[in-house]
Structure 1
Amino acid sequence: MRRNIIVFFLVVLSCLGCNDGKLRELRILQLNIWCDATVVPGAFEALVDEIARLDVHIVALCEVNNRDGVTSERLVEALKRRGQTWHGASGRCNGVQGTDVCVLSKYPIEEITTGLSTIMGGVDMKVRIDVKGYDVLLYPAHLDYTHYACYLPRGYDGITWQRLSDSETEPATVLKMNRESTRDEAIAAFLDDAKTEQADLILLTGDFNEPSHLDWNEATREKWDHNGCVVPWDCSMQLYEAGFRDVYRVVHPEPTICPGFTYPSDNSEKEIKDLTWAPEADERDRIDFIYYMPDGAFAPKEAKVVGPSSSIVRSERIQEVGNDTFIEPLGIWPTDHKGVLVTFEPIRKN
């Protein structure tokens, strides 16, 4: 009996510890929702269902166009009908890429700033969130989709998306096209703004429309139709040189083991021709990211891929065989991207 009483009190104390108001972890989802979740039939409700069941605290969305009203407000209302309380922040969504973003948070949004960018595909918005006393500053992004230079080594033009007569594998030529986009300017402007800010956690999330130098290295040069090409991609290099880190690669440092592809995702509701831009190539890449500035307050704990564990390769649906952890959709998947879900743990008291 005495032993049972001790066990009972230990359980009670454990439960009290779970509800002591302290932050145990912070879970963040990044997802491109494909034309405001309008392309796949039933996509909006499917998106709401996924957010509701994933047990995340912050959601950063891009390709948000406010087609049927302010998307963040519609999502907050739809989640409320499912018994969940969220706060929403919308980008300007004025038809210019980069403004097509929104943020949802289970924690209070303290400040919303828009109009940061003057270029197409710029980082236009930042949101300050009070996470149980921790100051979290999040910049949601959707960078320029043009001059998609990672198609050159695969034998496709990154501007017209037409088949080339041969692959272009000279890194200098690939980077020349890449820099004709506004992506590098967008990251430079973001870094200028971020260095003026103070927060316990500074995050940059989004669809970059550009891979990472961490994924196009010596180890991967003969994989995924890289065709021997090793590329120090601009955006990831700029961010790393400034001290930011790619959460997925911090948790899973080996791209050959955990490639973490986010595009193009398979989607059983759509025909393959609607999901590929390079139908004769292996065009898989990780172009959706969550970056953070390590400052001692938070440390990455987990990183998972949200969405189908199948992708499109050479116009076929294939099952991924790496060691990535997938959170498969409940039913309808609303987009042609996969999402990224990361978990941070606080390592410094607020």
Structure 2
Amino acid sequence: MSRYILLLFTVLVCSSCHNTQNEKKEKEVTIPKPAALKVMTFNIWQEGTMVANGLDKIRDIILATDPDIVSFTEVRNYNDEDWTTKILKKLKDKGVDYFGKFAGGDVSLISKYPITASKVVYNGEGSVVKYNVKLNSKTIVVAAAHLDYKGYACYLPRRYYGGTPNWNLIKDENGNKSPVTNVDEILAYNKKSTRDEQIAAFLNSIKTETNPIILMGDFYEPSHLDWTEKAANRFDHNGVVINWPSTYTLFQKGFIDAYRNFYPDELTHPGITWPSKVHGKDSTSWTPLSDERDRIDFIFYKGHNIKTTSATMVGPKESYAYNELVTTFTSEENFMADTLEWPSDHKAVMVTLMFE
């Protein structure tokens, strides 16, 4: 009898060990679910002061689109009031909680996930600020950028100066409108800004970074992925094909343009963010005799196993071209919050990123 009991005990112990080993193997091959993150870049046009009840309008757009992280540009903190605190309170009054941080410059960030650190990377004509965001067990770096507005060289092919010496029409000796189409001249003019220094400062700040990185904001410069051979006769490019330095430099450093990654065809999905229709305002165009529509607000990312799973424009379908509101080339694009009262001369962009 004792032998039988001993044998039965041995069998049970071995069976238990076998089951434990199987459970351990199953746990080892369990793959965690990817984390989806909705991020939005939003130029709020002098923090909403250019329209009536601008702060409420910005709040309503955030409530309607429900982003996880929003970077704001043109944050001024007028009257020494922290604008970021004000928008957080407006959202909380509607039952929605975000973390928020103004660290300096003219940008700020709100996030549904904790912001654990911040650092001003560049502060001059515009700014770049980095934030660490705790996304569950992962830390990601989110940088908000508002690049220099001067030397807006994409106006030159459109027969306008880009701020130097002014924003007027370019005319030849006979008084006729005269576009600049020489790429070297355009790039030389582009260097009148500090955008290249700002991008260089950002890249230098993340040289040793191992966490995923998101860079978003208003670049005041188009994309090399939009001024292509295919688009050479669109939007008054006047045949110019050019590698705009800010986006091209990021591309060379391994950054991915989230919107253009999801919509690779620049003709069907131009992603125009400027100049937008504004509720209760007249034209926001700076080149009333030209078509200046462009994509100058971006979301870039870099890191292993990240992909764009959705991308949308946020704001009205209408933009200004030749000083008239038009919706051409928008038929295949997605829009959110397009029926709300829009408070900015820029449209916002929102993408969903999947972190595996």
TM-score by length of 2: 0.86
The aligned amino acid for 1:195 is: K
* Residue 328 of structure 2 corresponds to residue 337 of structure 1: no
State the Cα deviation string for residues 6-51 of structure 1 (Å, max 9, x = none). Answer: xxxxxxxxxxxxxxx9664110010100011100111110101111
* CA distance in structure 1 between the aligned counterparts of 2:56 and 2:328, rounded to whole angstroms: 26
Q: Offset of 1:134 from its aligned partner?
A: 2.0
Structure 1: give runs of 5+ residues left out of the alignment: 1-20, 93-98
Contact map agreement 1:42 1:332 (CA 8 A) in 2: no
Contact map agreement 1:304 1:326 (CA 8 A) in 2: yes
* Residue 212 of structure 2 corresponds to residue 206 of structure 1: no
* Residue 217 of structure 2 corresponds to residue 217 of structure 1: no
Hey, what does 1:174 align to over in structure 2? 186
Structure 2: give runs of 5+ residues left out of the alignment: 1-31, 172-177
Hey, what does 2:327 align to over in structure 1? 319
* Residue 304 of structure 2 corresponds to residue 295 of structure 1: yes
- Structure label with greater radius of gyration: 2
316-325 or 160-169: which moved more?
A: 316-325
* Residue 64 of structure 2 corresponds to residue 59 of structure 1: no
SS at match of 2:126: coil
Contact map agreement 1:122 1:183 (CA 8 A) in 2: no
SS at match of 2:122: coil
Q: Offset of 1:152 from its aligned partner?
A: 0.2
Contact map agreement 1:303 1:340 (CA 8 A) in 2: yes
Hey, what does 2:85 align to over in structure 1? 73
TM-score by length of 1: 0.87
Contact map agreement 1:43 1:332 (CA 8 A) in 2: no
* Residue 151 of structure 2 corresponds to residue 147 of structure 1: yes
Contact map agreement 2:277 2:342 (CA 8 A) in 1: no
SS at match of 1:91: strand
Hey, what does 2:137 align to over in structure 1? 133
Hey, what does 1:6 align to over in structure 2? none
* CA distance in structure 1 between the aligned counterparts of 2:248 and 2:329, rounded to whole angstroms: 28
Hey, what does 1:107 align to over in structure 2? 113
SS at match of 2:78: coil
Contact map agreement 2:61 2:337 (CA 8 A) in 1: no
* CA distance in structure 2 between the aligned counterparts of 1:60 and 1:118, rounded to whole angstroms: 16
Q: Offset of 1:331 from its aligned partner?
A: 2.5
Q: Offset of 1:135 from its aligned partner?
A: 1.2
The aligned amino acid for 1:57 is: D
* CA distance in structure 1 between the aligned counterparts of 2:218 and 2:66, rounded to whole angstroms: 22
Q: 1:208 to 1:189 in 2, by over 3 A?
A: same
Hey, what does 1:264 align to over in structure 2? 275
Q: How many residues align?
A: 315
The aligned amino acid for 2:88 is: V
* Residue 170 of structure 2 corresponds to residue 161 of structure 1: no
Contact map agreement 2:220 2:296 (CA 8 A) in 1: yes
State the Cα deviation string for residues 282-304 of structure 1 (Å, max 9, x = none). Answer: 000000000101322x2111111
* CA distance in structure 2 between the aligned counterparts of 1:120 and 1:311, rounded to whole angstroms: 26
* Residue 312 of structure 2 corresponds to residue 304 of structure 1: yes
Contact map agreement 2:107 2:127 (CA 8 A) in 1: no
Q: Offset of 1:53 from its aligned partner?
A: 2.1
Contact map agreement 1:154 1:167 (CA 8 A) in 2: yes
* CA distance in structure 2 between the aligned counterparts of 1:138 and 1:259, rounded to whole angstroms: 25
